[in-house]
Structure 1
């Protein structure tokens, strides 16, 4: 049971522990009450029984023997007691099997005199029997109900009221405890998604929660300022770097006559521009939209940018009716980087990259698979591929890469709520699996 409680969220864990605590406290209170109240009630019953014996003794001691029989029968009619004449051949058992019984017997003897006997059964008939003397004869009086050391069991409706109050109180207390933590969890999730305008109540009555909320709000303000500064800085860097690159390209077209040198320099400029674009993509803020997207159309649209069959061939096997939830810009960025990664590394030397794209609906998800037929990567390097600036082994590494392609893929998918898995495919090559949320 403890393991099951650990697996629940905070509200239900708190609710379960409080319910157990309150139920245990209620049970302990009931047990204590019954223990403290049972003995006085039993002694009171013994006192009343002693009074009944004295009344019977007085009634039977002042009548003749013949009239006693009639009196005994009249006493038993409609009464809760039984009276019979004691005989020498009676067999009886002492009422002393427990400390409680001995206490009851002692109380009756003190009340009625030393000649009184208290038995738990007479001639095989169980009950609380009291033997007393009335004149020259002895009699047995049996009580209709034997005093008990415990109280009667509570009624079922009372137990239901206690159980309902316990559950309701536990739910209210757990809700009060969980409410500020839930608000903190929601605000932290919004911060993770890039929404830095989250604010928590700084005027709550609980001082500890108030201090936590104030600290969180200050942290959110600092992060918002850092994000704003980063965006401005990256925009400035992009502008300041691309402006001289544009001038270099213009100077190249006008001044260099050697076509081979011109082409090599143009490729270097394009590479620098692409690296700047990768940095901008990775540092891009997290604003996004969430809408239904046709996965096959997105794959076909991004594949148009890779039309050189000597470098890469993309086979789109995604069904046209598969829709996923996501942001169109983020999805385009994911497919661009996956195709570019396959174009660079997913082929044998001197051959074109052969890329197969397929998708399969699985319940509330759509599984997209992008596979190349290159050399793959060592198994121990797979978890490192999505780290910024990480490069795999030489078989999949070119000097022109920025080391940010798969890091951008992972970051974009996280923004869309999708999951990424990279592995070596059976038969060779790298296989990328993406689980999107399915759109109806």
Structure 2
């Protein structure tokens, strides 16, 4: 059960399967959020890339050159100092610069290279340039894995300089990635909030427009709208809703009044035809009676149309197969009675996908009026039989009135 009832009317020869599916366009919310998110992402990437290339990387390179110069100078100074002053120099180097100096050989384990240890790579290149060597031995002491040890040559043999991880463990790319992720997260949140604030009033307006199209009058409140343009749009929409409601009421009153006023002259014509009908030829009298019946039928349809404008008919549950089958039989009998010479027939057909006892909620009289008018038009202008067909499409009933006429 539901409210997805569809009614179709077209010539039978125009039926054909349409398998193409229209792509649903993205919503305003999705497009706004995507544009804002992409803009903030590009802005963040440009700022971070500029900061790294013009500030962080040059600073890291200069710091690595300074540390390389300090290590080379320390190695040369240690070689030139008397043996009795060397322990004081080692202690001063440890206290002032957090650099350890060892003379004994160390079994260095090669480092597990990682792409984020950019500073260590810059330091190695700076040492290679100052020492005019192709390779500088860098590794961790297997007995003391804390920090990194660098082996430098001297006139008295190799020297080992230990540098703590806190000094060379700076990872600008990792900092960049974390900062970029945080900025993107906050940017995405801000984009979603901005997009939602933009699209929420439009969603309310869309729902209210749908309600007006279904015959309900729903006025929007201006209190929830913060933007001046949205408030003006809501006021204009409410004014339009009131004007449409007044227009429908006036049209309903006009149709009802015209239909009611025309019944008086029609009653006089019918009474005159009954009184003086014997003076007319039988064929002419029968023709005049059929014309009067058609005019009364048109008035009845106008009255039903006027009643249908109010949209107050309750929704009831009905069994569709029996309802439509009864309509087809009744309408064919009425048509044959009004047009005995017409060859038109009304056939009812049920699709195989429709089971027996299919219940559906619908405004019964309004649907019957629509089908009644469609069948009448098909009988009058279709030039033959009319097929009333019930189908199931996407779980909803689809009622088709098919004829062999030229179409509209």
- What's the TM-score bracket when you normalise by the shorter of the two chains? 0.5 to 0.7
Structure 2 matches for 1:8-157, cutoff 5 A? Answer: 8-35=26-53, 36-63=55-82, 118=130, 121-122=133-134, 151-154=172-175
Aligned partner (choices 345, 350, 375) of residue 313 of structure 1: 345
Q: Displacement, 1:200? A: 3.9
Distance 2:24 2:387 in 1: 44
Aligned partner (choices 298, 301, 306) of residue 323 of structure 2: 298
Distance 1:364 1:242 in 2: 44
Is the contact between residue 294 and residue 323 of structure 1 (CA under 8 Å) also seen in structure 2? yes
Structure 2 equivalent of residue 220 of structure 1: 241
The more displaced of 222-231 and 267-276 is: 267-276
Distance 2:314 2:181 in 1: 51
Is the contact between residue 200 and residue 216 of structure 1 (CA under 8 Å) also seen in structure 2? no
Asked whether 1:272 is paired with 2:295, we answer yes
Distance 1:343 1:46 in 2: 97
Is the contact between residue 38 and residue 148 of structure 1 (CA under 8 Å) also seen in structure 2? no
Q: Which has the higher contact order (CA 8 A, sep 6+)?
A: 2
Change beyond 3 A, Cα 1:168–1:6: farther
Is the contact between residue 136 and residue 152 of structure 2 (CA under 8 Å) also seen in structure 1? no
Q: Displacement, 1:328? A: 0.8
TM-score with structure 2 setting the length: 0.66
Give deviations 1:242-277, integer Å, cap 9, x for gaps.
Answer: 222123222322233234443322222222223334
Aligned partner (choices 319, 327, 345) of residue 363 of structure 2: 327
Is the contact between residue 317 and residue 359 of structure 2 (CA under 8 Å) also seen in structure 1? yes
Structure 2 equivalent of residue 423 of structure 1: none
Distance 2:61 2:101 in 1: 17
Change beyond 3 A, Cα 1:80–1:39: farther
Is the contact between residue 53 and residue 141 of structure 1 (CA under 8 Å) also seen in structure 2? no
The more displaced of 6-15 and 362-371 is: 362-371
SS at match of 1:18: helix
Distance 1:368 1:176 in 2: 41
Q: Number of aligned residue pairs: give it.
A: 334
Q: Displacement, 1:295? A: 1.8
Distance 2:48 2:132 in 1: 29
Structure 2 equivalent of residue 392 of structure 1: none
Distance 1:63 1:212 in 2: 90
Q: Displacement, 1:282? A: 5.2
| C-alpha RMSD of the superposition | 4.4
Change beyond 3 A, Cα 1:338–1:204: closer
Change beyond 3 A, Cα 1:189–1:369: closer
Give deviations 1:20-58, integer Å, cap 9, x for gaps.
Answer: 222223323322332322222332333233333333332
SS at match of 2:385: strand
Gaps of 5+ in 1: 85-99, 109-115, 348-352, 386-440
Structure 2 equivalent of residue 419 of structure 1: none
Change beyond 3 A, Cα 1:79–1:37: closer
Change beyond 3 A, Cα 1:155–1:316: same
Change beyond 3 A, Cα 1:280–1:24: farther
Asked whether 1:262 is paired with 2:285, we answer yes
Structure 1 equivalent of residue 219 of structure 2: 198
Distance 1:263 1:221 in 2: 48
Distance 1:367 1:83 in 2: 94
SS at match of 2:225: coil
Distance 2:70 2:211 in 1: 79
Change beyond 3 A, Cα 1:140–1:117: farther
TM-score with structure 1 setting the length: 0.62
Distance 1:130 1:46 in 2: 17
Higher helix fraction (1 or 2): 2
Change beyond 3 A, Cα 1:32–1:282: farther
Q: Displacement, 1:119? A: 5.2
Is the contact between residue 292 and residue 325 of structure 1 (CA under 8 Å) also seen in structure 2? yes
Distance 2:272 2:100 in 1: 122
